[in-house]
Each structure stands twice: as C-alpha cells, then as structure tokens.
Chains A and B, each alone.
Chain A
Amino acid sequence: MSAAINSPVEPTTPVGKAADYLDQRTKIGVLTKQLVRKVFPDHWSFMLGEIALFSFVVLIFSGFFLTMFFEPSMELTEYHGEHPAQLHGQLMSVAFASTVEMSWDVRGGLLMRQMHHWSALVFVASMVVHMMRVFFTGAFRKPRELNWLVGTALLILGLAAGFTGYSLPDDVLSGNGLRITDGVVKSIPVVGSYMSYFIFGGEFPGEHIIPRLFTLHILVVPALILALIGVHLFLMVLNKHTQYPGGGRTDKNVVGVPAVPVFATKMVGNFFIVFGVLALMGGTMAINNVWNYGPYDPSLVSAGAQPDWYMLFLEGSLRLMPGQGTEWVIFGYTLSLNVLIPAVVIPGLLFTFLFVYPFLEAKVTGDHREHHVLDRPRNRPVRTGLGVAFLTAFIILAVAGSNDLIATHFVMSLNLITWVLRVLFFVGPVFAFWVTKRICLGLQRKDRELVLHGHETGRIVRFANGEYIEVHRPVDEQERWIRVSYDAHRPLEIAPATDARGVRRKGYRSDRRWQRISRFFYEDRVEPVTPAELAAAHAHGEHDEIEAQRGTPELVSGSASGEREH
C-alpha cells in the first residue's frame, strides 16, 4: 500500500482549508455533493412558492423591527405625542399608542409597518396562487399528497398569522374584527360561551387579548410556519421537483438547470426582487393608517370597513346568510345557524375540499403510480372544472364581503346585490364548472386537430382542377409530444355484483358508489391522437385536410367499456 494513496489531499486555499475543517467534523461533503449540481426544472410558475417563502422572510425581518417598538399592553394611557394632532390627549391602550408612535416618531417605522402589512397580504396571495398552480397541474399526486397537506396547513397558519397581527394595534377596525370573532365563537354549540371566555380571559374585550394575540403572532404561529416550511422544502428536495410535459421529460427523470449556479442565482435574484417590490410598496402605498380610525372604543364602528383580502370570504359568507328562520331553539338552547353555517361550516367545507381532494382523485382514478410530469390543466377537465368552481365560490364570497362598497361605488341597491350574490353562490360554481370543463374538452379537441392536420398557415392554394385548399404546416415532434403525451383516464371498472355462483359480493355497493363518482370524473374524455390515427389522416391525401377535419373522432362519451368510435 503506497503512502500516496492513503494520505488525504492537503487543502491549500483558505476556502479549501475551511471546507476541510468543516467536513472533518460534519461530513458535509456528502450533502454538498448531492445538492451542488442538483437539477431543478425551470418554469415561471415554480417561482410562486418562492414568492411566498421570500415574503415570509421579509415578514420576519420587518416584524423583528416592529417588536423593538411595539408594546403589547392594554394598559390605558393618555397620548402625549404632538402628532397626529387629533390623538393628542386622547385615552388609548399602550398597544395603540406605541403603534402610532412607531409610525410617527421612529425613522423608518412607518415604512417597516407598511412593508410588514403588504408582505402579509402578498404572503397569503402567493400561497394561494402557488396552490392553484399545484392543483391545476396535478402536482399534489403521489408522492406529493403529504406535501399538499403541509401546504394547506401553511395556508391556514398564514391566515392565523394575518389575523392575529391585524388585531394587535387595538384600533377601532381591528377591535370590531375581534368582536365579530367573539360573536362567531359564541355561536358554537355547547362550548361557545366558554371558548369566548377562554380567548378573552373573561368577557369581551377584557384586558388580556392583545398580549395573548401578540404571543401567538410573534412566537407560536411563526414557529409553526417555520417548522412546516422546513418540512415542505425538505419533502420538495426529497421528492425532487415536478416538471412540465415535454420532450425527454418522464416520470423517471428530472430535466432542468443545476442548483449551482443557475438555479441558485435565479432564486437569490427572485428573493431580492420580492424584497425590493415589497419595500417599494411599503414606501409608497399607505396601508392601515390606524390613527385615522382611532383607538378601540366598543361603541364605534366605521362604515365601509373591510378586513384584509384573505378574510373577505369569511366576511362575505357572514353577510350573505339570511337571518330569518335560521336561529333555532332546541330544548331551550340556542343554535344560531345564521352565524354557525357561514362562519364555521362554509370555511370548514372549503378547507375539507382542499385536504381531501388528492385522496379523492387518486381513489376515483384508481391511480397508485408516482407522478412527476405535470398535467396540462386541459387534460384533466373535471379537476380543472372543480378548481375553477372552488375559486368561483371563494371569489363570490369575497365580493360579498365588499357588497357595501359595491353598493356605494356603483349606486346600486345593497339588498339587490346581496340577493344576487346569494343566488350566485349556488349557481356560479356549477356554471363555472360546466364552462371550464367544456373549454378543457374544446382545447383537447384543438390539440387533436393540430396534431392531425397541423397549423393553419393562411396560405391558400388553387389546384389545376379549380379546387382551393389552405396549406397546413405539420406540428414538429416536440410540439406533437406535448399535445399527445397524456392519459385520458377511464371510469373505474368494478367486479360484478355477484360471483360465479350467484352469491352477492361484499363491498359491491361501495364499489358502485365509487364508480359513480369516477364516471363523473372521466365519462367525458378526449383521447390523445395515436400514430395510427395520424397515419390515417395523412393517408387521406395531402390536399384532403378539410374533409378530414370534419370526420375526426373526438369526444368519447360512455362508460367503462370505452371503445373509441371512429
């Protein structure tokens, strides 16, 4: 054994020495080896989650600044600052006074407050849009169902962070928000009153709520968010990122740019851009000027008040619910469905949909495979339709949360708007589902047509016999691959109700039910073009395209047998 082989390479550069020092103690070389040139697929829509992450980082930076000046106390004090003049000498909580002081007397304080608030709005918005990307492309499928759950939990925590932070300045607006929360909590059967006491330490508003919300806002919720972000990113690296369909992209590989330098540089760039845009927003766009609302006073309220955008759907839900006949008294106990349904049941249903959808879809698809190539939304018409229906319900509720502003801005009857939205809440999602599904099927047919007959060129040619045709340019193989590489899933096939000896099979009824749901998902489908069909289309003759267009096999409608018609 020669000494040369055994002796470790002596590092000579400072960086090399530092790396050697670290590696001798941590074996970090193994991790670095795996990560440094790790391949990340590149697409603009993969940045949406990054935006959420980076706005959270900005939230931590700016939030840290704010904690240096904010005092979470409900102790009453007289405001001694000279500015703003309307507050001088007014009685208010220390929390409110310190919020005003950090805005007016601390240099950069207002900037940080506004950046913090804008970051919170962008944080939730980017999570929602990121989630839409994941949903519509089917990135929640195996093996990423767990990460979808983590993401949904992060969304809920994001709402919690926003709500607890929004309430801290103890101004009129947020105080009324807390009061609404109290009313909602009280509507919960059996334990509602006690939960209200639990939250406020007695009757609303009491003197504990601000310090309690502060601890939740700066410790408990962000710690949970950070932990879950860790899990979220860990699973993302572990599962490797999904990729859009395209040449050479399969479920067995990942095609993209290496982590160092390209991906890392773009990511760092994205961080600074997000940070910069939020700084610009904080510097130039006023938000939540609490001194205009004044300190909390339980008898005051401002008209046209809106919660932050992500709470609008709850507010709208409360506004839409008709009050008549919806408060029931059962054995002397009061069940206020007029609050319980819109504020607890509706959001419960919305989030339940998000939590169970990946599992529901896997079940009705009979799908146990791993998926790493994303779906084009058109290729999953029912999923895309359901997603759009969900968003429609969410948006209608959010619009309902601004029904008073719509009424005043457009000089319309508030009652009429409310009634229209009540109807739309039920009709809108169904209509949106139907339209979206049709659009998806239409796009799939368009894909077929393009693959079979190529792109229109706008060039008209006349033949010697007087016939005119438009010249079509065939799609290249890369484009064709994107348009044909998908599965048109079929409804589940189930075993018959009775076995060979005529004995009823256990579990048949449940199978039937699942089959029915599966039919809802996959009854209408457009099959991808096969090489045989393309050959047939070409065999019709180069100048025969126009006839061929009419007779293409298209929408397949039917149950499990699914023999394609020609």
Chain B
Amino acid sequence: MSENVNPTPSRDLTAAGDGTHGAVAQSDRFSDPGVPHHQPRLTDRDPKAAKRAERTVTLLFGLSILGTIGTLVAYFLVRPDGTTEGVRLSTVLLGTAMAVSLLGIGIAAVHWAKTLMSDRDYIEERHESRSSDEVRAVAAAGFKDGYEDSGLARRGVLKGAVFSALGLVALPIAVPLVSSVGGDWNVGKFRHTMWKPGMRLAYDPTGRPIKAADLTVGSVAHVIPDVPAEERETHEWITEKAKAVVLLVRLNPEDLRADQSPEGETWSYDGIVAYSKICTHVGCPVALYEQQTHHLLCPCHQSTFDMADGAKVVFGPANRPLPQLPITVDDEGYLVAQSDFLEPVGPSYWERLK
C-alpha cells in the first residue's frame, strides 16, 4: 500500500474497460487521469473549525452518556402500572432515551471520522483471484498423491463399501425423524369433520344451540357443532373446529335460487343454508357477509361466494363453491345436521377426489 500523497496523472494505468472483448484499441481511449488531488476540508485548513468539530464530537459522546443515564432512570423510576398509558409511557421513555444513548455514539463516531480523521485516499494493489499455476499444480499433485496413498484406486470393493456406508449413514437419523414428525400420517382425516346426523348447530363461540325460529330473514350466524363445554377447551377441539366451522344464513326463500341439494333431497331449511366457513382457496375463514347481494367474501384473498346460488364463486382466486352442510330441524325446533359434509372442506389437495 502506498500513500497517494502527490498523485500525478499517470498515463500507463490500464483503463478500467480495457479488455479482450470489444476490440477497441487502447489508443481509441482516453487515458486514466489518476486519483484526483486531495481537496483539504475546512477542518484541514482552519484550526478553529477543527476545534469546533472536536467540541461537537465530545458533546455528542456526552449526550450519549446522558441518554444512558436517562434509560436507567426511566427503567427504575417509571414502573408501568399495567394500564395502556403506563406501558406506553415506559416504552416511549425507554426507547427514546436508549436511542439518544446509541445515536449519540453513532453520530459522534461518524462526525469524527468525517471531519477529523484523514480523508486521504490510499491505493492498494489487487491480485488476481485465482491461484497461480504452480500452486494449482502442487495442490492437485497433493490430492493425487493422497488418493494413491489411500489405496482406494486399487481396492475397488473397499471404495464401494466406503461410499455406500457413508451414503447410508444419514438414514438412522433421517428416517425416524421424518417418519415421526408427521404424526399418524393419516391424511384421510381431511375428508371428515365432526358433524354427525342429528348433531345440533350451535353459536360460535357461546355454544348455545340454534333454533330455526330465532333466525330472522337476512341474519347470519357463525356456527360450531354442539358439544359439551369442557370438550371445547382441548386441542382436539381447535383442530376439529378448524374444519367444522359453518356459516349459516337465513335468506328469503324466494331469493334462494339454488343450493347444492341433489335431486330428491333438501339440504336447506326454510331459506336457511349452512356452508363450510373454510375457504376452498387456501383455507381462511370466510367471514364477510353482505346482506344485500348475498355475497360472502373471504377477507384474506377476496374470493367471493354467492350464498343464494349454491355458494358459487363469483370472483377471486377460489375455484370451487363452499361445501354445503345438509341441515334440518329436530323435534324441538333446533337446527341439526343431516350428515357430515359430503365432500372434504377447505383447500384442494392432490387426493381430494380419491
């Protein structure tokens, strides 16, 4: 490295763009004027300016110390009382004071480097990234000698055994790992939900069963299967709920153009239709119902389903209608499921129709 104290415009420096490609001769090019002369800064020329800069830097370091003290003060004196205001005050004070203590050092260091440290350019030679041919030859010879010394070249069976053993040795870890993390691997569970014939529909999250008579035309209900309250406090419940949630809408029977009932069956009851709440796109709960248009919108990716027309997709990335839950009423007037869904709910997957 040489200090470029007095750079002279050098003519023999190769131009940056010179090369084999492009076939532009060197004489066709301007020559590199060399590193520009060092321009002294204000702090280089004026001792007063340098003194000022030094004071600023000192002040900034001092500010940082104050910030650090401030952080500790905020930590010990401002104890949040648990209210929103308390937590906010503590967080703002801690964060701001900490920022002062950090920014003080940061800005001081940069200002110091920019005003008081030398800003002369230095030049260092680069070397080609590749190693020289001699070095390569020695390295290659080393490998070759090592390979010969190992005797692998002569002992073919040994070679095969070594590589087979090394290739297989990952299996004792990989197989149990991969095989265990998938639980029981029974992907057939995607096909079923916990709905059973005669199971009552209940409000989410209270769990109160729904009477058909309670629903006015135009109303919408978020529905879960009617199960005992203690059952609803388990993991199994959350996983079952993730498939079983239903959105129920009561339409004016004249508005109900179609549902998914096959010939000879009635899956809706007096204008009440129940569809899976799990989007057939990628599985978000479809939750935004627009009463005027009977459209149901998924807030995640805006797939839109027409509840008056068999939950057909009218817009967005979903492809299939939401599966319908066949419902009817029991003797006491409560809505009940006629059966489970007749197709898998939620997003499509490879074996969905198998």
A residues in contact (CB < 8 Å) with B: 37-39, 74, 76, 81-84, 91, 103-105, 107-108, 110-111, 114-115, 143, 176, 179-180, 182-184, 186-194, 196-198, 201-208, 212, 238-240, 245-258, 261-262, 265-266, 268-277, 279-284, 296-305, 315, 318-327, 329, 332-336, 338-339, 342-343, 365-367, 369-370, 372-373, 403-404, 414-415, 418, 477-478, 480-481, 484-490, 528-532
Given A184-B282, A203-B190, A532-B28: A269 and B110 interface contact (C-beta under 8 Å): yes
Given A283-B94, A339-B282: A194 and B187 interface contact (C-beta under 8 Å): yes
Residues in A with CB closer than 8 Å to B284 are: 176, 179-180, 183, 301
Within 8 Å by CB of B102, from A179, A252, A279, lies A279
Residues in A with CB closer than 8 Å to B282 are: 179-180, 182-184, 187, 318, 339, 343
B36 and A192 contacting across the interface, CB-CB below 8 Å:
no
Chain B 6-45 interface residues, beta-carbon cutoff 8 Å to A: 7, 9-10, 13-17, 19-22, 24, 27-30, 32-36
Within 8 Å by CB of B32, from A270, A283, A485, lies A485
Q: Is B235 in the interface zone, CB < 8 Å from A?
A: yes
B residues in contact (CB < 8 Å) with A: 1, 4, 7, 9-10, 13-17, 19-22, 24, 27-30, 32-36, 75, 79-80, 82-84, 87, 90-96, 98-110, 112-114, 117-126, 128-129, 178, 181-185, 187, 189-190, 204-205, 222, 224, 233-235, 238-239, 241-243, 245, 277, 279, 281-285, 287-288, 299-303, 313, 315-320, 346-354
What are 18 sample pairs from A and B whose C-beta atoms fall under 8 A apart? A107-B75, A192-B350, A197-B183, A252-B126, A253-B126, A266-B109, A268-B109, A276-B103, A279-B99, A280-B96, A282-B95, A301-B300, A319-B301, A323-B319, A338-B318, A339-B347, A369-B19, A531-B28
Residues in A with CB closer than 8 Å to B103 are: 272-273, 276-277, 280
**How far is B106's CA from A510's CA once the two chains are assembled, in angstroms?**
55
Q: A74 — nearest CB in chain B belongs to which residue? A: B235
**How far is B297's CA from A304's CA once the two chains are assembled, in angstroms?**
12
Contacts A110-B91, A276-B102 supplied; 5 other A-B pairs, CB < 8 Å? A248-B32, A276-B99, A318-B317, A334-B348, A338-B319
B300 and A180 contacting across the interface, CB-CB below 8 Å:
yes
Smallest Cβ distance from A20 to chain B, in angstroms? 25
B16 and A373 contacting across the interface, CB-CB below 8 Å:
yes
B319 and A324 contacting across the interface, CB-CB below 8 Å:
yes
B302 and A283 contacting across the interface, CB-CB below 8 Å:
no
Nearest first, the 9 A-B pairs at minimum CB distance are A283-B95, A183-B282, A272-B106, A269-B109, A248-B35, A276-B102, A273-B106, A276-B103, A202-B183
**How far is B33's CA from A315's CA once the two chains are assembled, in angstroms?**
52
A322 and B241 contacting across the interface, CB-CB below 8 Å:
no
Given A240-B126, A247-B33: A404 and B349 interface contact (C-beta under 8 Å): no
Smallest Cβ distance from B274 to chain A, in angstroms? 14
Within 8 Å by CB of B113, from A266, A327, A418, lies A266
Given A184-B282, A338-B317, A418-B302: A38 and B124 interface contact (C-beta under 8 Å): yes
Residues in B with CB closer than 8 Å to A37 are: 1, 122
Q: A371 — nearest CB in chain B belongs to which residue? A: B16
A193 and B313 contacting across the interface, CB-CB below 8 Å:
no
**How far is B125's CA from A254's CA once the two chains are assembled, in angstroms?**
6
**How far is B152's CA from A250's CA once the two chains are assembled, in angstroms?**
48
Smallest Cβ distance from A141 to chain B, in angstroms? 12
Given A207-B235, A283-B95: A301 and B299 interface contact (C-beta under 8 Å): yes
Within 8 Å by CB of B33, from A238, A254, A478, A488, lies A478
Within 8 Å by CB of B315, from A38, A205, A372, A415, lies A415
A302 and B22 contacting across the interface, CB-CB below 8 Å:
no
Q: A367 — nearest CB in chain B belongs to which residue? A: B21
Residues in A with CB closer than 8 Å to B36 are: 246-248, 478
Residues in B with CB closer than 8 Å to A184 are: 282
Residues in A with CB closer than 8 Å to B181 are: 198, 201, 208, 212
B301 and A318 contacting across the interface, CB-CB below 8 Å:
yes
B30 and A480 contacting across the interface, CB-CB below 8 Å:
yes
A255 and B121 contacting across the interface, CB-CB below 8 Å:
yes
Within 8 Å by CB of A484, from B14, B30, B119, B351, lies B30
Within 8 Å by CB of A297, from B105, B185, B205, B346, lies B205
Within 8 Å by CB of B288, from A76, A238, A303, A418, lies A303
Given A39-B122, A107-B90: A193 and B235 interface contact (C-beta under 8 Å): no
Within 8 Å by CB of B185, from A104, A190, A194, lies A194
**How far is B298's CA from A404's CA once the two chains are assembled, in angstroms?**
11
Q: B223 — nearest CB in chain A belongs to which residue? A: A299
B301 and A255 contacting across the interface, CB-CB below 8 Å:
no
Given A39-B123, A104-B82, A530-B29: A251 and B320 interface contact (C-beta under 8 Å): no
B123 and A275 contacting across the interface, CB-CB below 8 Å:
no
B87 and A103 contacting across the interface, CB-CB below 8 Å:
yes
Q: B353 — nearest CB in chain A belongs to which residue? A: A332
A201 and B281 contacting across the interface, CB-CB below 8 Å:
no
Residues in A with CB closer than 8 Å to B15 are: 250, 485
Residues in B with CB closer than 8 Å to A531 are: 27-30
**How far is B303's CA from A33's CA once the two chains are assembled, in angstroms?**
64
**How far is B187's CA from A79's CA once the two chains are assembled, in angstroms?**
34
B95 and A279 contacting across the interface, CB-CB below 8 Å:
yes
Smallest Cβ distance from B264 to chain A, in angstroms? 26
**How far is B182's CA from A192's CA once the two chains are assembled, in angstroms?**
12
Residues in B with CB closer than 8 Å to A104 are: 80, 82, 87
Within 8 Å by CB of A256, from B21, B122, B352, lies B122
Residues in A with CB closer than 8 Å to B13 are: 248, 250
Smallest Cβ distance from B85 to chain A, in angstroms? 11
Given A204-B239, A272-B106, A273-B107: A336 and B28 interface contact (C-beta under 8 Å): no
Within 8 Å by CB of B20, from A81, A277, A338, A369, lies A369
B98 and A283 contacting across the interface, CB-CB below 8 Å:
yes
Given A194-B185, A327-B348, A370-B128: A76 and B106 interface contact (C-beta under 8 Å): no
Residues in A with CB closer than 8 Å to B283 are: 179-180, 182-183, 204
